[in-house]
Chain A
Amino acid sequence: GAGVSQTPSNKVTEKGKYVELRCDPISGHTALYWYRQSLGQGPEFLIYFQGTGAADDSGLPNDRFFAVRPEGSVSTLKIQRTERGDSAVYLCASSSYGGNEQYFGPGTRLTVT
């Protein structure tokens, strides 16, 4: 079956611009996670959805970052007033209800110039 997909695969934007990153989880997975991976680092948690609601957004670095999952499936990570320090690979993962394994998408590489 189809895995987790993320679009775009690459995004280059100018400092100060707004960007949206999309994640399509595995069909039927109720939990969805966003992570950020900076160069040379492991993935770091940003936000976690169970269904439509954010169960934990403690990893969002500041209020420029926001994510939604309005219908409990596709999620969009939104970054306002991008900064060069936001450049990273943004990973999305999903898991089934009560599941213990997270399945990752290929990521979106964001470059802020």
Chain B
Amino acid sequence: AQSVTQPDIHITVSEGASLELRCNYSYGATPYLFWYVQSPGQGLQLLLKYFSGDTLVQGIKGFEAEFKRSQSSFNLRKPSVHWSDAAEYFCAVGEGNTPLVFGKGTRLSVIA
């Protein structure tokens, strides 16, 4: 069965510091991987996605993620965090039009 694990429930970083959010997945085939961000009271916004090809993918708002098949990971990174990045981040796995399987999310807090 497909599953996604986000080991960190809550992370706090200082503004301007770098960020890495972890995601591990279990999937039978080559997965499609996604990172979504959810601000309080808002829907999910797609940050970036990986389907195939280059394992380092760039997304919106300065985020990037690296697919590592050997580690079954798809970690999200940002070199310099802004206060507006404070939100909940979800990693998800799926394929084509199939429903997505989400992790439980990582809440990011940004301090001055």
Q: How far is the CB of B43 from chain A (nearest CB, A)?
A: 4
Q: How far is the CB of A56 from chain B (nearest CB, A)?
A: 7
Complex partner residue of A105 from B43, B49, B98, B104, CB under 8 angstroms:
B43
Complex partner residue of A106 from B42, B49, B90, CB under 8 angstroms:
B42
Q: How far is the CB of A46 from chain B (nearest CB, A)?
A: 9
Q: A40 and B104 in contact (CB under 8 A), knowing A100-B49, A106-B42?
A: yes
Interface size class of A (residues with CB under 8 A): 20 to 34
Instruction: Return the chain B residue nearest A96 by Cβ.
Output: B97
Q: A31 and B44 in contact (CB under 8 A), knowing A42-B103, A42-B105, A101-B49?
A: no
Instruction: Return the chain B residue nearest A50 by Cβ.
Output: B97
Q: Mark B70-112, 1 if CB is under 8 A from A, else 0.
A: 0000000000000000000010101011111111110000000
Interface centre among B41, B97, B98, B104, by most A CB within 10 Å?
B97
Chain A residue contacts of B99, Cβ below 8 A: 33, 35, 45, 48, 56, 59
The reply to whether the CB of B32 lies closer than 8 angstroms to some CB of chain A is: yes
The reply to whether B97 and A104 contact each other, CB–CB distance below 8 Å, is no
Instruction: Return the chain A residue nearest B96 by Cβ.
Output: A100
Chain A residue contacts of B44, Cβ below 8 A: 43, 91, 93, 104
The reply to whether A98 and B43 contact each other, CB–CB distance below 8 Å, is no
